[in-house]
Amino acid sequence: MRTTGAVWAGVGAAILASSLLAPLPVGAQPVPDGPSTTSSTTTTSSTATTTSTTTTPSSAAVTPASGATVGTAQLNGQVVSGATPLDAYTVTLYVTNGVGAPSVLGTSVTDAAGAFGFDPAAPVPVDGVAYLVAEGPADVPVAPGARTLTGVLGVGTLPDSAVVNERTTVATAFAMAQFIGNGTVLAGPSPGLQNAAGMAHNLADPRTGGISEVLATKPNGGDTKALDTFDSLANMVAACIASAADCDSLFTAATTPEGAKPETTFRALVDIAHDPWHDVAALFAVSLLGPVPYQPARVVAPPAWTLALRFDGDGVSLDGPGNLAIDHEGFIWVNNNYEYDPTIINPVCASDELFKFTPTGQFVPGSPFTGGGLSGAGFGIDIDPFGDVWVGNYGFASPPPGCPAKDQPPHNSVSQFRPDGTPVSPSTGYTGGGLDWPQATVADEQGNIWVANCGNGTVTMFPDGDPDRALNIDDLGLNEPFGIAHNPGGVAFVTGIGSSTVAMIGPDGTPLPGSPISGPFLDRPMGIAADSGGNLWIANSGFVDLPCPGATLPGVTQGSVAALGPDGTPLSDTAFQAGGVTVPWGIAVDGNDNIWVANFVGKRVSQLCGVSVIDCRPGTTTGAAISPDLTGYGFDGLVRNTGVAIDPSGNVWLTNNWKEIPDIKGNPGGYEIVAFVGLAGPVQRPRPVVLVPRFTG
């Protein structure tokens, strides 16, 4: 059973509302779907006649937001399957801001050319998500509406024309998966709902029904199997539209793990998106039925029916992205190991850049940001309660003489940036408090900044974010401190890779009784994250010896995940080896309290059942696999992953940190961040407490 009641705290403004369907810049035009799509679009815009009817909603159905300027010009479009027009489909235009039931702005019935058109009954509010639902007629034994296609048009605006087909339906079902209730109703908090609409446009273009530029081109396109998977999902629906018998094949294969059989093609895709590990082979067989109009498609079944996209900013900046932090509006901040070089063998020095991406994966204006002492950041990045971004400068660089001795970075600073990318820290960064090869750099709810010093076994704290009051906390029983997370009482839990221990430190910086924690459930622990109940989840790498300054590359080993209660008591005497975990590095908790693991080996992300046991596999419990045990959610667009985070739309973001075969003396860095679309329970960071932190530099 799928729930959409994720952890939400605060309501953000609609993101990118005015730009989701603004004219695309040169070089970012929609990728046409071959001659058939071009032809159908032309028919829609110039020659189609419609038998439209308009339904006017009640006066209370739509309340335009302040500043809404969207017009109500006629919307024309076409409903097609591949190149085949679909006659007698009832097309409804909905709009929703996520609160209450969607409003109907118009209905129309397609003609023999698949064309429809209507005048929207009211403006689209600035935060309103507009979408189309096309329901097919009865076709014994297929019930009316069983063949349902959808398309997300945009936020706060409408295009002048649209195509609804299987590709737009897949894009809607996956990008909006965490916001789809019964039937075709979209609902959920801002900004997650609005951002998800933008992510749908990274998959399919609503104007043409073709593949989006993001999916069609590097670093996606032919470089990964994401497009093939996308088209196979579209072909499943095309099979049903072409043959009533194949509808039953689709609905049977898409039956949920709990036994609920979908009654529409759209619901089938939503159920697949919710449980992508389920009946993979049977669904692949359905994708081969019928006309298979969408190509390229898969020739073998995937590990799971997930959709993942890669993003590389301007294509010449990311090199070893180490970790990421997502703000209250869904923007993604990413730190970076190395200066960019497109080769494997050329040595590289430390990166001096910090990146900010939009919720849909593009650089914001001004990104990358520099200054503030940035110097080869590693795993350390977080956003404090006031909205400022903090980065731990680990000092990654190729060893000398590749990166010359005079250019070797220090390993002793932390940087601070404003939400607009303005550096606050000086050009050397903050260096007080015994900082030494800093890794995790974490803000607690009070605005204190905590830093794990991998090089000297200590933890640095900046009370109230003030580096002039820096404290160094030692005698913790840690070797190679790495990850930090807090329970609801403000206690810091710090992992020690080399000691296989976890230290507990009170809010005042005092080690607590019972610290450090040790036992067979800890095995070279790295990332750590807290769930909504204050339980701590730990990524046991099982092998990694971090370069601070010594280093050993991991071999083939599984690793595991451990869990502690809020007081440090282990939830299990043994660690969990499930979901395909392989050298776990980073770890995150989603809005359903389920666990996500970034694996440094194996090109997969792993999902485990959390304490709340929501949306887990039927009959399983805490620590059990949700993703497949053998493969995790495998994706050929991954390399060696370190950071993982969940955004307000339920996208799972990872950092492609190192290449699959790294050259430590050259350039081991990877080049992308990766989003698994709509896969997790959304997570909403609280809005900043105030605009300016108490400490202003």
- Render pLDDT for 578-627 as a digit per residue (tens, 0 to 9): 999 999 999 999 999 999 999 999 999 999 999 999 999 999 999 999 99
Residues 289 and 350 in one domain: no
Q: What is the pTM of this model?
A: 0.90
Task: State the pLDDT at residue 147.
Answer: 98
* 38 — pLDDT class (breaks 50, 70, 90): very low
d(CA 673, CA 280): 26
* 22 — pLDDT class (breaks 50, 70, 90): very low
Last residue of a domain, one of 275, 305, 335: 305
Residues 290 and 150 in one domain: yes
Residues 260 and 152 in one domain: yes
User: Which segments within 621-670 are labelled E, that is strand?
Assistant: 633-634, 640-646, 652-658
- Residue 693 above 60 pLDDT? no
Last residue of a domain, one of 305, 327, 346: 305
Domain residues for the domain of 381 are: 308-676
Residues 279 and 290 in one domain: yes
Residues 405 and 270 in one domain: no
Task: State the pLDDT at residue 58.
Answer: 26
- Residue 64 above 90 pLDDT? no
d(CA 615, CA 3): 7
- Cβ partners under 8 Å of residue 617, min gap 6: 257, 277, 609, 624, 625, 626
Residues 501 and 485 in one domain: yes
Residues 89 and 175 in one domain: yes
Last residue of a domain, one of 272, 305, 338: 305
Residues 548 and 467 in one domain: yes
Is residue 592 a contact partner of residue 681, using CB atoms and an 8 Å limit? yes
Is residue 522 a contact partner of residue 501, using CB atoms and an 8 Å limit? yes
Give me the torsion for CA of 7, 649, 379, 214, rounded to 10°: 170
Residues 314 and 283 in one domain: no
Determine, yes or no, domain membership for 198.
yes
Residues 100 and 188 in one domain: yes
Determine, yes or no, domain membership for 683.
no
Residues 256 and 328 in one domain: no
Q: Between residues 693 and 296, which one has the greater pLDDT?
A: 296
- Structural domains counted in the chain: 2
The candidate with the shortest Cα–Cα distance to 602, out of 554, 565, 644, is: 554
Determine, yes or no, domain membership for 691.
no
- Residue 385 above 50 pLDDT? yes
> Which of 40-44, 257-261, 558-562 is least confident?
40-44
* 57 — pLDDT class (breaks 50, 70, 90): very low
- Residue 62 above 50 pLDDT? no
Determine, yes or no, domain membership for 333.
yes
* 691 — pLDDT class (breaks 50, 70, 90): low
- Share the mean pLDDT of the chain: 89
Residues 491 and 543 in one domain: yes
